[in-house]
Amino acid sequence: MLFHHASKNRPFHLGTYPMEVLPRDESVVAAEAAQPPAGPTEAAEAGGALGPAVLHYRELFAGFAEGGPAAETAPVPARLDRRAEDIKGCSYFMDADQVGICRIPENAWLEGRRPLEAHSHAVVILVACPALPDRGNLARAWVEDAVAATAEMRVLEIAGCTAGHIRQMGFEARIHHAGDEGLDRKRLAVLAGLCLRAADGGLGNPYIEGGFALAVISTDYELECDSPLAPGAAQARNRAYRKGIAGAVSGRRRPPPAPP
């Protein structure tokens, strides 16, 4: 008989992946500072029967990238950890796969983009690409050319809700996403403890084997920050993960990876 940690007792703001058990390494901050400035990225294309709907809703959610804050500031918690738990919980309620928070270094702003001076913190939201139906399933042809765009659509939807929550509390929030960004989302995903930098400059996630989409919310709302992952986090898909360590969803219950 196998015994599993009780997921019902897992704090909601931790999400379904056991990110909190991964090793951290603050020296990664200096390594990222040495990375060359990045340029903007293009949004993924979407084809097949699903493509038009995905592109329509991605454009719709992109309309919430900017917006003004409420006229009055809400009575927010004084403790930064409580603030971070609230923001992460909001994103996880919308089914984000992973959420991390970091300060925005000066070199995270893209070349040619004017920094938003008041925005000191970044909320980085990650959504895995959806799994595909089995080969031979008729539905596969409908969706396989829109996998990456679907993840971008979902992460934009979640970021829109979270940014709106921050604005309603009286703080500024701006969403940066593929096709419309002022920040290096890859660099911030590393600094926020969600991803590891590969030798070729790309990103890898400790738990997600396939592709994923990122959105970043820059804000003047001060939050408790996460630390970057240590290289040892690359070994995260181990026996403990497959058993459901710390009440997180068991790795054996995860769908097969989507194409990168």
Separation of alpha carbons 189 and 93, rounded Å: 20
3 state DSSP class of 102: strand
3 state DSSP class of 34: coil
Residue 90 pLDDT = 98
Separation of alpha carbons 3 and 195, rounded Å: 30
Tokens representing 188? Answer: 């911030």
Separation of alpha carbons 152 and 73, rounded Å: 31
Q: What is the full per-residue pLDDT of the chain (260 aa) written as tens digits?
A: 454 556 778 999 999 999 999 999 999 999 998 888 888 899 999 999 999 999 999 999 999 999 999 999 999 999 999 999 999 999 999 999 999 999 999 999 998 888 999 999 999 999 999 988 888 888 899 999 999 999 999 999 999 999 999 999 999 999 999 999 999 999 999 999 999 999 888 999 999 988 999 999 999 999 999 999 999 999 998 999 888 888 888 888 887 765 54
3 state DSSP class of 247: helix
Residue 27 pLDDT = 96
Is residue 70 in a domain?
yes
Contact 117, 19 (CB under 8 A): no
Separation of alpha carbons 81 and 93, rounded Å: 18
Q: Which helix (H) or strand (E) covers residue 80, if one does? A: helix 80-93
Tokens representing 217? Answer: 């919310």
Is residue 258 in a domain?
no
Express each pLDDT in 36-59 by its tens digit: 888 889 999 999 999 999 999 999
Is residue 1 in a domain?
no
Is residue 46 in a domain?
yes
Contact 179, 42 (CB under 8 A): yes
Is residue 2 in a domain?
no
Residue 8 pLDDT = 78
pTM, two decimal places: 0.94
Residue 5 pLDDT = 54
Tokens representing 237? Answer: 């898909």
The total of structural domains in the chain comes to 1
Residue 112 pLDDT = 81
Residue type, 154: R
| Residues of the domain holding 212 | 7-253
